[in-house]
Amino acid sequence: MPDSGLSRAQRIPTTDTGATPPPLTPPPGSAATAAARRTGILVTLVLGGLTALPPLSMDMYLPALPAVTDSLHAPAATVQLTLTACLAGMALGQLVVGPMSDRWGRRRPLLIGMIVYIFATAICVFAPTAELLIGFRLLQGLAGAAGIVIARAVVRDLYEGDSMARFFSTLMLISGVAPVIAPVIGGQVLRITDWRGIFAVLTVIGVLLTLVVWKWLHETLPPAERHTGGIGDALRTMRGLLADRVFTGYMIAGSLAFAALFAYVSASPFVVQEIYGASPQTFSLLFGINSIGLIAVGQINGKILVGRVSLDKALGFGLAVIVLASVALLLMTSGVFGDVGLVPVATGLFVLMSAMGLAMPNTNTQALMRTKHAAGSASALLGTSQFLIGAVASPLVGIAGEATAVPMAVVQLVCAVGATACFLGMCRPWQQVATRH
């Protein structure tokens, strides 16, 4: 197989602690070590960009929703479907692209997806009606899903065990910034142009990222490891993955944790501003602080805990903290402690969000550790499950109207308890420890 462009240090097997076998490790300070480090940083940035593109596509557009409603003379509910269409496309697109990447390699489906993304986003710039905008937002989501699913599959191709967990934590640092800065970028774009300019900016970002992928992200799945079957073979592969109790347990646990995060994102603007009377600037500050907490704990997980604490222990601790934070939020929002005000509620949300830095990377790592033979299909199932469960949980936060934050806390608690139950009941980490020993 031609050289993939990745350094030898990245392609050789790793031990459980993430260290490469001593005989194959270049001497400290050697040119090989420096090249490996540069290549590793470059791959990290490329994969981080791919995972950040879907949040940018969703969140840069948020400040423009009222303008779109006025410009296209469409009801607000219809314009809201442009968000739903993009989210649905991201969920379903992963089921298509994941098996494709297992059959044809990572590079070809990714480049095709990026080209289609550019085309769909460019059409959105000129969309004359809300219905056409909805259709091409769906196509945009379907194509943008390629970046999410293939980025995870590439990580699985390159890394094993603790090294994979470290890499996922690093990706969280990059991709976690995207939802924070995306509305800010969108707002600044609206200062100099209209809502169509946001899609123009996304088109340019898509072109640049496609060029970077074409030049620097080489194939990571050797031909000998690819699947040769068609749709039937892909479906059988996915059925086999879902039949793996432990894989499915990690998948559902991670998806339910992600749903708790989705509940926060959906409800927090209303809860913080309408119920607790905070200004938009205060809300933006709190949202940024919570995102920083998630990213910081993700880095603690990757830089400090991995290799010293088992992934299941870190995951179990993270889920326990999410459950406790959800219980505290439910007690506070339901009035058990009286009128507690914004600060205690914001603290509970900060703890809950920060603990996601332990839950998200470790569920992905543990699930993908079991699926070397079908990383693309496994990544597709992980991503689709997260988006679908998150999309179901998100509307429930407003089910009781605008006068209470209790539904948000209830959804978060149910998701957190469900995630913990799946982790303990299906993954059974104590049995895995016994098996390894």
Query: Is 30 a residue whose pLDDT tops 60?
Result: no
Give the SS3 label for residue 306: strand
| 387 or 207, greater pLDDT | 207
Of the pLDDT bands very low, low, confident and very high (cuts 50, 70, 90), residue 18 is very low
Give the SS3 label for residue 309: strand
pLDDT at residue 180, as a whole number: 67
pLDDT at residue 401, as a whole number: 61
How many other CB atoms are there within 10 angstroms of residue 169's CB atom?
26
Query: Is 202 a residue whose pLDDT tops 60?
Result: yes
pLDDT at residue 156, as a whole number: 82
pLDDT at residue 249, as a whole number: 95
pLDDT at residue 206, as a whole number: 95
| 159 or 129, greater pLDDT | 129
What is the rounded average pLDDT of the residues 68-97? 84
Query: Is 12 a residue whose pLDDT tops 50?
Result: no
How many angstroms separate the Cα of 160 from the Cα of each of 166, 362, 367, 401, 421?
10, 13, 12, 47, 26
Give the SS3 label for residue 260: helix
pLDDT at residue 35, as a whole number: 41
Percent of the chain whose pLDDT exceeds 70: 86
What is the rounded average pLDDT of the residues 261-266? 80
| 371 or 33, greater pLDDT | 371
Query: Is 61 a residue whose pLDDT tops 90?
Result: no
| 421 or 372, greater pLDDT | 421
What is the rounded average pLDDT of the residues 167-179? 73
pLDDT at residue 6, as a whole number: 38
Query: Is 17 a residue whose pLDDT tops 60?
Result: no
How many angstroms separate the Cα of 43 from the Cα of each of 6, 109, 185?
9, 18, 25
pLDDT at residue 253, as a whole number: 96
Query: Is 24 a residue whose pLDDT tops 70?
Result: no
Query: Is 396 a residue whose pLDDT tops 60?
Result: yes
**Which segment, 37-46, 96-105, 267-276, is predicted with the most confidence on average?**
96-105
Query: Is 209 a residue whose pLDDT tops 90?
Result: yes
pLDDT at residue 40, as a whole number: 67
pLDDT at residue 402, as a whole number: 59
pLDDT at residue 201, as a whole number: 95
pLDDT at residue 20, as a whole number: 36
Bridge partners (DSSP) listed for residue 306: 309
Return the closest-CA partner of residue 423 out of 240, 172, 255, 237. 255
pLDDT at residue 22, as a whole number: 36
Q: Report whether 165 contacts 28 (CB < 8 A).
A: no
Bridge partners (DSSP) listed for residue 309: 306
pLDDT at residue 36, as a whole number: 37
Of the pLDDT bands very low, low, confident and very high (cuts 50, 70, 90), residue 378 is confident
pTM of the model: 0.73
How many other CB atoms are there within 10 angstroms of residue 431's CB atom?
10
pLDDT at residue 25, as a whole number: 33
Q: What is the mean pLDDT of the chain?
A: 81
Q: Report whether 39 contacts 7 (CB < 8 A).
A: yes
